[in-house]
Amino acid sequence: MTAVRLADDALLLVTRHTSWDRHAPADARYLDEPPQPNIGIRLYGASHATFATIQRSNEQVGLLAIDTFETYQTSGRWKCYLDFDAGTKTIRDERRGETVVTDLALSATERDLAILPVPAFGEYAILVERVGSLLRVMGYGEVG
């Protein structure tokens, strides 16, 4: 896990998960090398908490796909699921006291923002930028 205090005083936690165990590499399903990671992002600000799940992409080796992200504020939760195979997004907005679920087509811009190369260990800026950009493009707005 990597923990970083950002310029806006938000706390960023980044976790990387693989099925490879460096202490028992022969037990791994992938004997040649560790598989691409799945990455978890947690961003804690003064008035919000934002989480994102970034999975191995099915489209190409070396790419990751942001497939779930959500933001919590005192006004409620906003969550988005991306389904790349179906080309859809599902948004659950609970910020106004009721749950509104919207299913929409995933645009080319949204898909392009959600797919990114696997960053080197400790490189987190692109992850934070992409999650923020997706929140804006998907209709949530700015996190802050």
Domain ranges of the chain: 2-137
Predicted confidence (pLDDT) at residue 101 exceeds the cutoff of 70: yes
DSSP 33: S
Nearest-CA neighbor of 73 among 91, 111, 46, 100? 46
Torsion angle defined by CA atoms of residues 110, 107, 89 and 105, in that order, rounded to the nearest 10 degrees: 180
- The CA-atom distances, in angstroms, between 120 and each of 16, 36, 62, 86, 126 are 11, 11, 11, 29, 11
pTM (two decimals): 0.82
Share of the chain above pLDDT 90, in %: 44
Residues in the chain, overall count = 144
Share of the chain above pLDDT 70, in %: 88
Cα–Cα dist 106/32, whole Å: 35
Q: What is the pLDDT of residues 28-65, one digit of tens each?
A: 555 555 567 788 899 999 888 999 998 887 767 778 89
Q: What is the mean pLDDT of the chain?
A: 86
